[in-house]
Structure 1
Amino acid sequence: MDQFQKPPVHSGVPGYGYDQQQPMSPVITVKEWMITTLILLIPIVNIVMMFVWAFGEGNPTKKNYFKASLIWAAIVLVIYAIIAIILIAAAASSAMSNY
C-alpha cells in the first residue's frame, strides 16, 4: 500500500478507518476574532466576557480558548499573591527589626 491509498475500513470497530466523520465546530472568522479582541480591550468588560464566552453557549473552540485563558489568569493571580505575601512579610520583618 503506498501513501496515497486508504487502508481498508473495518466496519463495526469504532475509531478505526478514515471514513468516520467527526462533528466539526464552525470556523471563527477574522471579523469575529477582531470583535472579540476589541471587546477584550475594554477594562472590566473583558473579564465578564471571558466568563460568558467560556461557560455560555457558543462555539466550542472559543469556549475552550477562554477556559484556558481563565486558568492561566488564575495561575498568574496565585503567583502574584504569593509574591505579594513574601514582599509584605519581608517589609514587616525589616520594619520590626529597626525597633
Structure 2
Amino acid sequence: METTIQPLDGSPSGPNPYAPYRSDEPVSVKSWLITLVILMIPIVNIVMLFVWAFGDSANLNRKHFSRAYLLWALIGIAFYLVLFAIFGAVMISALSEMPV
C-alpha cells in the first residue's frame, strides 16, 4: 500500500492535473489556414478572437496574433470615429452657412 503525504494546508502536492493546456509549439500552416477561415465568418470571428486572446487554452502564437488583431481593430475604430467627428463638424458648419 502506497501512502501519500499531503502538505499542511491541504493542497495536493505535485503537478496540477487540472492545469489548463497551453501549447507553445509553432502553429502549423493548416492551423493558420483554419484560423483565417474562421476569421472570415461574421460574428464568429469576433467571438473567437476574444476566446483566443484571453482564453487559457489557446496556443501562445495564436494568442499574440489575436491580441494584435484586436489592437489593430481598436485603432481602426478610433480612427474612424475621429474621422466621422471631423466630417460631421465640417458638414454642420457648411449647412449652417447655407441660405434658407
For the criterion TM > 0.5, the same-fold answer is yes
* 5+ residue gaps, structure 1: 1-23
- Describe the SS at the equivalent of 2:61: helix
- Which residue is equivalent to 2:47? 48
* Count of matched residue pairs: 76
Cα deviation for residue 64 of structure 1 reads: 0.8
- Which residue is equivalent to 2:77? 77
- Ranked by relative contact order (alpha carbons within 8 Å, sequence separation 6 or more), the top structure is 2
Structure 1 segment 1-99 matched on structure 2, within 5 A: 25-56=24-55, 57-99=57-99
TM-score by length of 1: 0.71
CA RMSD in angstroms, aligned pairs only: 1.3
What do residues 31-79 of structure 1 show as CA deviations (whole Å, max 9, x unaligned)?
A: 1111111111111111111111111121111101110111111111101
Off by >4 Å, runs of 4+ in structure 1: none
* 5+ residue gaps, structure 2: 1-22
- Describe the SS at the equivalent of 1:98: coil
